[in-house]
Amino acid sequence: MQKKIIFSGIAPSGNIHIGNYLGAIKNWVNLQNEYNSIFCVVDMHAITMPRDPKELRKKTLEVAKIYIASGIDPEKSTLFIQSHVPEHAELMWILNTITKTGELSRMTQFKDKAELSTGDSKALENVPLGIFNYPILMVADILLYDTNLVPVGEDQLQHIEITKTLAKRFNNRFGDTFVVPEVHITKEGMRIMGLDDPTKKMSKSAKSEYNYIALNDSEEIVRKKIKKAVTDSGSEIVYRDDKPALKNLINIYSLLSETPAKEIENKYVGKGYADFKNDLAEVIINFLKPFQERLAKLDDKKVLEILAEGAEKVQPLAKKKLDEVKRKIGFIV
């Protein structure tokens, strides 16, 4: 039987953090053994906000290296850079024409990024169009490869929903063309919260660096950030919904050390935040250190070759699907 297909990606922007790792990459590493896996560095998504070109180039390569240093095996999975396969942008245009503006303006990410919640009616006029329709680019990414499963964090759920909607809409209008994908989410890792504010997700573009643990943070910085991480009132180490800060820290501890939350609770009975935080910092460092060593050893040239080979491998698949789409809508192919 043919293996099912997974597709996912990370935008090379901001500081890639343990939320990106726990919500996405860690699951990819496990899934790559069972699925035909395609992992993309989505550079076209990164330019929805102004980027320094040099920085974008550097970050794009860095994200690919992060995939590999995390355990994505280029022998098992296909890695490539989104802009190397122009079919993504072409399919996006076609899908634009079957998307309703209301469907996009309801997206939480759009509202957040456009800061519409401030109630400033002028804010909308200054929002780059790419922020508005970038979900359609993501839809194109997914649908081009007959993807069955999309492993992502919770913040991408709405984007997977619109992917399903557009796939079905196209299929209804033009005949069966796209596979309607499903989302893959893990309960604990799907939403790692900010260390400085456990009511909001950990974010690459957070204003304060105390919001996240970046994958390239040094030991010293990790200790400093964990020491400063906000906690809840009280002093016991418990995993409960009414203690969102602790719940988040225990989640990070649990996922990085593969220890059930209950066991962590038991370990800290009678102990306080200081002990717990010291150990949590060590757990994070024990994960980051070997990861950073693997990352440092990766050769840029070799990684660029892997990415070029990946693009070469997927481009014919993308072209085949796009040609099918073009034929169905009446283009002369």
Cβ atoms of 58 and 41 closer than 8 Å: no
Strand pairing category for 5-10 and 36-41: parallel
Measured from the CB atom, the residue of 7 and 273 that comes closer to ligand TYM is 7
- Residues with Cβ within 8 Å of 164's Cβ and at least 6 positions away in sequence, in order, are 180, 181
Distance of CA 28 to the CA centre of its chain: 11
Is residue 243 among the annotated active site residues? no
Cβ atoms of 307 and 298 closer than 8 Å: no
In the complex, least distance from residue 45 CB atom to ligand TYM, rounded to whole angstroms:
5
SS3 8: strand
Find the part of the chain contacting ligand TYM (CB under 6 A) among 94-102, 153-161, 220-228, 259-267. Answer: 153-161
Residue 83 CA to residue 47 CA, distance in Å, equals 11
* 87-146 positions binding ligand TYM, by CB under 6 A: 138, 141-142
Residue 169 CA to residue 178 CA, distance in Å, equals 10
Cβ atoms of 51 and 83 closer than 8 Å: no
Could you give the C-alpha distances from 104 to 91, 134, 172, in angstroms and in order? Answer: 17, 9, 20
* 226-255 positions binding ligand TYM, by CB under 6 A: none
Is residue 201 among the annotated active site residues? yes
Measured from the CB atom, the residue of 109 and 268 that comes closer to ligand TYM is 109
Residue 266 CA to residue 218 CA, distance in Å, equals 29
In the complex, least distance from residue 292 CB atom to ligand TYM, rounded to whole angstroms:
19
The DSSP-derived string for 261-316 is HHHHHHHTTT--HHHHHHHHHHHHHHHHHHHHHHHHH--HHHHHHHHHHHHHHHHH
Tokens 């990684």, residue located: 303
In the complex, least distance from residue 67 CB atom to ligand TYM, rounded to whole angstroms:
11
**Residue whose C-beta lies closest to ligand TYM:** 23
Interface with ligand TYM (CB under 6 A), residue total 26
Q: Is 150 in the site for ligand TYM (CB under 6 A)?
A: yes
Measured from the CB atom, the residue of 159 and 330 that comes closer to ligand TYM is 159
Of 111, 99, 190, 106, nearest in space to 152 by CA = 190
Measured from the CB atom, the residue of 42 and 72 that comes closer to ligand TYM is 42
* 189-218 positions binding ligand TYM, by CB under 6 A: 189-192, 201-202
Is residue 289 among the annotated active site residues? no
Q: Is 7 in the site for ligand TYM (CB under 6 A)?
A: yes
In the complex, least distance from residue 275 CB atom to ligand TYM, rounded to whole angstroms:
26
In this chain, which of 26, 45, 223, 247 binds ligand TYM, going by CB under 6 A? 45
Measured from the CB atom, the residue of 163 and 273 that comes closer to ligand TYM is 163
In the complex, least distance from residue 136 CB atom to ligand TYM, rounded to whole angstroms:
10
**Catalytic pick from 201, 225, 247, 277?**
201
Indicate the length of the chain as a whole number: 333
Cβ atoms of 73 and 56 closer than 8 Å: no
Of 61, 2, 311, 42, nearest in space to 150 by CA = 42
Measured from the CB atom, the residue of 26 and 243 that comes closer to ligand TYM is 26
Q: Is 44 in the site for ligand TYM (CB under 6 A)?
A: no
Residues that bind ligand TYM (CB under 6 A): 7-11, 19-20, 22-24, 42, 45, 138, 141-142, 150, 152-153, 155-156, 189-192, 201-202
Enzyme catalytic residues: 113, 201, 204
